[in-house]
Amino acid sequence: MALRRTWAVALFGVDGVLVEIEADVRKGGLPSLQLLGLPDTALQESKNRVRAAVQNCREDWPASCVTLALSPAALPKAGTSYDLALACAVLAGAELVPPHRLAGTVLFGELALDGRIRPVNGLLPALLTARKEGMRRAIVPAEGLAEAHLVEGIEVLGATHLREVVAWLRELGELARYPPPMDEPPAEPVPDLADVLGQPEARWALEVAAAGGHHLLMVGPPGTGKTMLAKRLCGLLPELSGQEALEVTAIRSVAGDLTGSATLVRTPPFVAPHSSLSIPALVGGGTGLARPGAVSRAHRGVLLLDEACELGPKRLEALRTALEEGEVRLARRDGTLRYPARFQLVLATNPCPCAPARDLDCQCPPQVRRRYLGKLSGPLLDRVDLRVRMRPITAMTVHSGAEPESTAVVRDRVARARAAARERWSEHGWQTNTEVPGPVLRREFALPDQVTGLLDRGLEVGAITARGADRCLRVAWTLADLDGKERPDAEHVAAALEFRDRRAA
């Protein structure tokens, strides 16, 4: 009997902590099993799962005092991903398997009572943590091999049963490896912008939003194409970079959304929750340690809140911190979790509760219309860069020579504008104009007084706030990039101010 160690990972959002599991198996005394280190209920129940799995694999469970300690001891630990590491620690402590292969190996997997290894969520961020902490090897459920293979720099082995892991530790067998990667499946076709009839102002606003990463509000009668336009925004955005793809895929891993044939998510995600969603479903939550919400699932992509005024003020106001800081921090009893949430927000709403096809047919009194749109508060609208009013469709046919532009044509212009912004901000590490802090725009990249005169006038009369002025400057830089200009001029600033016209809301 001896003291042996194995390793696992505790996840807190998309951040992980390497957990050392010590097994002390002592001779003499009454047989017992103690689990230390602040386990939650699911982890506390692992004592019974592990014992049954070991015995059903025809291995001897030590008839002595077994103490399992999970360190750091003060760190709360939750979930069932520790089962495999606990079982191997006990077997090594009882000297039933040699310990040398456990050195530098992190283990993941939930154990069934018969010894089968079940998949667990969060493999990708957990393996990123293990690699960062210097672990050389990982054993994961066989169903998670495709996901685990996305992490380079660490050897990944897969197992379907505890017996396979025991045989590998005894050097009597080998574990599965991920097969050579096949060609990536072709990308799913994206909806084409040419499908949208009319709406030149909204189409232009969508192009500006894609070029600069700006938030967008569309107000108009039902059936004018608000949702159609929003669904086509992702098609205008560039593919995710390697680091961005890892971030998005890690969130899906924690949420349990990855399939058995997991690949890196290369296309910006599009998330459109129903207007009946709760605040925890929007920003993240749940019992124990919170799970990612819609704002995090839309990280590096687009979050569409259709019928935004139906969500209610509380849910809409919960977006403000995420819009400003690009992440969500959820404080719970067991700790504070961080989920990235850098997304483009698209709000779509009707102008009033009755929402007729024509404004002339509206039966709502003025105070009802104000109360309805008043659910979009001033502080929230102050964070929305582009506001556009949708017009009713007046014709179902397109005149010759005036065919609407396709997604491919607009995407080329967006790509050129993004390339110009990326080159300009490369020394600072920013990718889009919307990421640039206001003080940098006002000091290092200050525009002449004759260019910003309209902004100064708007601040003087209270038409815009200081935050709104900074956002106008970001939009002006985006408009200049789309025009191929090195710096914005007065016309670009005026156009940016027009996008913030409160009458559009």
Closest CA to 230 of 259, 253, 199: 199
Mean pLDDT of 203-231: 94
Q: What angle do CA 329, 330, 334 make, to 5 degrees?
A: 130
Residue type, 113: L
Q: Is the pLDDT of residue 475 over 90?
A: yes
Q: 141-151: per-residue pLDDT in tens?
A: 999 998 998 89
Closest CA to 305 of 339, 368, 350: 350
Burial classification of residue 332, based on how many CB atoms lie within 10 Å of its CB (0-12 exposed, 13-18 middle, 19 or more buried): middle
Closest CA to 83 of 122, 111, 57: 111
Task: With cut-offs at 50, 70 and 90, classify the pLDDT of residue 485.
Answer: very high
Closest CA to 386 of 485, 495, 295: 495
Q: Is the pLDDT of residue 411 over 70?
A: yes
Pairing of strands 216-219, 386-389: parallel
Residues sharing a CB contact under 8 Å with residue 91, sequence separation 6 or more, in sequence order: 54, 59, 97, 166, 169
Helices (H), 35-158: 41-44, 46-56, 83-93, 123-132, 145-148
Residue type, 503: R
pLDDT score, position 502: 53
Determine contact, residues 108/144, Cβ cutoff 8 Å: yes
Q: At what angle do helices 46-56 and 83-93 cross, to 10 degrees?
A: 60
Mean pLDDT of 450-475: 92
Work out the mean pLDDT of the chain and round it to a whole number: 90
Determine contact, residues 57/91, Cβ cutoff 8 Å: no
Mean pLDDT of 485-494: 94
Task: With cut-offs at 50, 70 and 90, classify the pLDDT of residue 334.
Answer: low
pLDDT score, position 331: 81
Mean pLDDT of 221-235: 92
pLDDT score, position 190: 81
pLDDT score, position 73: 92
Cα distance between residue 240 and residue 267, in whole Å:
6
* DSSP code of residue 182: P
Determine contact, residues 168/157, Cβ cutoff 8 Å: yes
Instruction: Select the more confidently predicted residue: 337 or 23.
Output: 23
pLDDT score, position 432: 94
Q: Is the pLDDT of residue 227 over 60?
A: yes
pLDDT score, position 264: 84
Closest CA to 392 of 220, 275, 231: 220
Residue type, 492: H
Task: With cut-offs at 50, 70 and 90, classify the pLDDT of residue 282.
Answer: very high
Q: Is the pLDDT of residue 399 over 80?
A: no
Determine contact, residues 271/302, Cβ cutoff 8 Å: yes
Task: With cut-offs at 50, 70 and 90, classify the pLDDT of residue 196.
Answer: confident
Determine contact, residues 232/193, Cβ cutoff 8 Å: yes
Q: Is the pLDDT of residue 458 over 70?
A: yes
Determine contact, residues 343/298, Cβ cutoff 8 Å: yes
pLDDT score, position 337: 84
Lowest mean pLDDT among 98-107, 261-270, 343-352: 261-270
Mean pLDDT of 325-331: 88
Q: 414-434: per-residue pLDDT in tens?
A: 999 999 999 999 999 899 999
Which residue bears the tokens 């504008």? 417
Determine contact, residues 415/235, Cβ cutoff 8 Å: no
Q: 101-114: per-residue pLDDT in tens?
A: 999 999 999 999 99
pLDDT score, position 186: 62
Task: With cut-offs at 50, 70 and 90, classify the pLDDT of residue 66.
Answer: very high
